[in-house]
Amino acid sequence: MAGKIMSGQNAYPPYSMIIEWEPEGGVFVVRVPELPGCHTHGRTYVEAVGQGQDAIASWIDAARAWGTAIPAPRDYALNDETKVPVGDTV
């Protein structure tokens, strides 16, 4: 793994991972919606999660090295009235 997710001094914030089965390729595809272009895959669900964590760490490390702004993780606290993630619109 490129870095540790949420542990230690160089912790990476918790980002969303969208994991979808791709039957044609026989893999789980992982996208990180908050980090443009951050995607990967794995042959098993567990492998895909690990690859997703590696992709997040690599994306953040590259952004830091290039001086690029790093988007904040999405806040998924539910709005009591609409029951949708905070920041989303209905």
What the block records as the tokens of 59 is 């994306």
Residue 49's pLDDT is 97
1-90: CATH, from 2.60.40.60, 3.30.160.250, 2.60.40.420, 3.40.50.300: 3.30.160.250
- Tens digit of each residue's pLDDT (9 = 90 or more) over 26-82: 999 999 999 999 999 999 999 999 999 999 999 999 999 999 999 999 877 655 555
pLDDT score of 81: 58
- Cut 0.85: pTM above it: no
**Which whole number is the average pLDDT over 13-36?**
96
Q: Which candidate, 20, 19, 16, 29, places its Cα nearest to that of 71?
A: 16
Rounded distance, CA 81 to CA 26, Å? 40
pLDDT of 84 reads: 54
Region of residue 84 (phi > 0: left; psi between -120 and 50: alpha; otherwise: beta): beta
User: For residue 49, what is the enclosing H or E element?
Assistant: helix 45-66
- What are the domain boundaries of the chain? 1-90
